[in-house]
């Protein structure tokens, strides 16, 4: 399969990951373009699909940090925030009905970048803990605790949110 087609297959997940890193849709699109350009220009492309996926997402991550370095605006505070333990009890006691597409989308954007990133890698990209650990160059145990903290933070934010999706009225079928 041509590299172009293989990259196209990952576009939604690449965009999801890029959005988690950049926090902005336009920047995320640019990141995906940058990643695709680098991948298409590469001389050696992994043939194994798992290796190809890891390679592709690493390119995107490197492209993001290259941009950060160029802008010299790396947010050390946000980095640190991502490692803090969430407040409150260990388990989440909120109402599950609050977990809607609208609230999750809203609250995801407010999370620190490392938390958005790990959620994207596990839930959107579909990496295993071991694959995410290899990509982020951290131990698997750290991935485990980081995804746990990130989801807890997201659940807390969603639980605290008062925005709910309105129930959709379904038309009665008169037949």
Binding site for other proteins (CB under 8 A): 4, 7-8, 11-12, 15-16, 19, 25-27, 29-30, 32-34, 36-37, 40-41, 70, 90-94, 96, 99-101, 104-105, 108, 119, 122-124, 128-129, 144-145, 147-148, 151-152, 154-155, 158
Exposed, middle or buried: residue 60 (CB in 10 Å: 0-12, 13-18, 19+)? buried
The answer to whether the CB of 15 falls within 8 A of the CB of 29 is yes
Q: Which is nearer to other proteins, 122 or 135 (CB)?
A: 122
DSSP, collapsed to helix, strand or coil, labels residue 160 as helix
The answer to whether the CB of 111 falls within 8 A of the CB of 172 is no
Least distance in Å: CB of 119 to other proteins? 6
Helices H / strands E in the chain, number of each: 8, 0
Q: Which is nearer to other proteins, 61 or 115 (CB)?
A: 115
Cβ neighbours of residue 39 closer than 8 Å, sequence gap 6 or more: 3, 7, 45, 55, 56, 59
Least distance in Å: CB of 61 to other proteins? 17
Least distance in Å: CB of 37 to other proteins? 5
Least distance in Å: CB of 128 to other proteins? 7
């Amino acid at each position: 399969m041509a590299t172009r087609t293989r990259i196209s297959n990952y576009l939604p997940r690449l965009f999801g990951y890029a959005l988690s890193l950049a926090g902005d849709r336009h920047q995320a699109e640019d990141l995906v373009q940058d990643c695709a350009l680098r991948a298409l220009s590469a001389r050696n492309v992994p043939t194994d699909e798992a290796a190809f996926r890891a390679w592709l997402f690493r390119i995107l991550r490197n492209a993001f940090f290259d941009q950060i370095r160029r802008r010299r605006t790396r947010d050390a505070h946000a980095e640190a925030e991502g490692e803090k333990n969430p407040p409150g009890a260990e388990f989440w006691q909120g109402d599950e009905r609050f977990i809607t597409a609208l609230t999750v989308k809203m609250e995801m954007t407010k999370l620190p970048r490392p938390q958005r990133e790990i959620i994207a890698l596990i839930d959107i990209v579909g990496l295993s803990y071991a694959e995410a650990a290899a990509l982020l160059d951290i131990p698997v145990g750290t991935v485990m605790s980081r995804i746990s903290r990130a989801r807890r933070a997201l659940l807390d934010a969603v639980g605290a949110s008062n925005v709910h999706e309105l129930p959709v009225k379904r038309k009665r079928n008169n037949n």
